[in-house]
Amino acid sequence: MNAAQFLETVASLSLQAAIVIVAAGCIRRFGRLTAQAECRLWTCSHAVILTLTAIAATFPHLRLVIPEPLAAARAVSTVQTQLIAGRVLQAVWLTGVAVAGMSLVGGWICAARCLQSCRPIADDLVVSSGVAKVAAIGGRSVQFQTGPHVAGPCCWQFHRPYILLPNAVLGFPAGERQFIVQHELAHLRLGHPLQLFLQRLVEILYWFHPIVWWSARQAALAREFACDAAVVSSRSEIAGYLRTLLSVVEQTQSVGEPCRETIGFGVGSGVIALRARRLVTLAQSGDIGVESWIGRRLRPAAILLCGVACTLAWLPVNDLASSRSWLSPWPTWSAALARDFRVPARDYEAYDPRTQLFELRETAVEEEAATASR
Ligand SMILES: [Zn+2]
């Protein structure tokens, strides 16, 4: 992919991601969703954004808007500017992706090291925390561990599911421990580690996009709300749960920051305040949103439809694009792959910015000479 195509792809994908997230935001705003439905909505949006990115990197796209051809002299300067902007953007984006990718791998290493220093929690303590003998997620038994580097109650699943509890939490009354363990089990049962992984991939690719940051924050909050709602069912339980939240913050704030890639029980005072406010509303009104069979299917369908429509949202920022074709050229790698399978993938347009720019320069010189001779 050359610099002009890269500029067109990044600008268009940023627009497409924004459309998908705004659509999800509108559904959430007007849909009165349960927290669990909201989690699914954000996960669906992130999956659609990843799919759109893969489609853009693999297939040609339709051009609904083909810019009017500019005068040769003006086209040369515009195209040169676009090529420079594309090259700078390529370097900056790749640097950002590398930094964000390293941060993800760093989080995994941090969690793996923390696990290595952990030891299993005694069975009687686990059972007294309200877990019936062996808790299993997807056929794999959950490992309960504790250790000196566990900064707060959290869960993690790469291959095997883990729930990590700090030593301080093991000394909590059984009722409070039960709330914490049930909250972490709810994360694992609802598939939140996988949802977080998809979200991280979107965050890495779109590290520069404020709307993606916003959606990531909303998704993280929705996951916490969903697990809070899964644990409490009465006013007295909500009161006890709020006390547990405060105890966890009190006991664990001096230990240090938890690993970023684990799903913590109470991360950040701002998040705790929002969760507490939502729990108080829940206790007062009992309103946790509406979840119907139709809504459960319609919402992902609406986001998918939005994603399909987004494949047409391409910004006409590449002045080297041919005005003779409604289809962009195939990306080089997938064109080569298609040719290996005897599919004539580059039939649409022979795309070579150097040749085209050279032709534009020649035309500009000829136009200049014709103007001077008049
Ligand atoms: Zn949580």
Residue of 199, 204, 206 whose CA lies nearest to 17: 206
**pLDDT confidence band for 105 (50 / 70 / 90):** very high
Q: What is the pairing mode between strands 143-146 and 119-120? A: antiparallel
Task: Tell me, yes or no, whether 354 lies in a domain.
Answer: yes
Three-state DSSP at 263 gives strand
204 alpha carbon – ligand 1 mean position (Å): 22
Distance of CA 228 from the midpoint of ligand 1 (Å) = 8
- Measured CA to CA, the distance from residue 90 to residue 67 in angstroms comes to 23
Whether 133 is covered by a domain: the verdict is: yes
Decide if pLDDT at 331 tops 60.
yes
Domain containing 265: what range? 3-361
Radius of gyration of the chain (CA): 26
102 falls within a domain: yes
> Is residue 366 situated within a structural domain?
no
Average pLDDT over residues 21-27: 94
Q: Which residues surround ligand 1, an ion (CB under 5 A)?
A: 224
Q: Distance, CA 264 to ligand 1 centroid (Å)?
A: 5
State how far the Cα of 358 lies from the Cα of 96, in Å rounded to an integer: 33
Paired tokens of 283:
């206790």
Q: Looking at the domain assignment, is residue 374 inside a domain? A: no
In a domain, 356, yes or no: yes
CA distance 165 to 153: 5
pTM score: 0.85
Distance of CA 348 from the midpoint of ligand 1 (Å): 51
pLDDT of 358 over the 80 cut? no
Q: Are 303 and 24 in contact (CB under 8 A)?
A: yes
C-alpha angle with apex 309: 306 to 315, nearest 5 degrees?
120
pLDDT in tens, 267-308: 666 788 888 888 888 877 766 656 677 777 788 899 999 999
How remote is the CA of residue 345 from the centroid of ligand 1, in Å?
Answer: 48
Residue 97 has pLDDT above 80, yes or no: yes
306 lies in some domain: yes
pLDDT of residue 355: 63
* For residue 39, pLDDT beyond 90: yes
> How many domains does the chain divide into?
1
Query: Does residue 73 sit within a domain?
Result: yes
pLDDT above 70: residue 266:
no
Residue identified by tokens 């890495």 is 204
Q: What is the pLDDT of residue 168?
A: 85
Average pLDDT, integer, range 236-265: 79
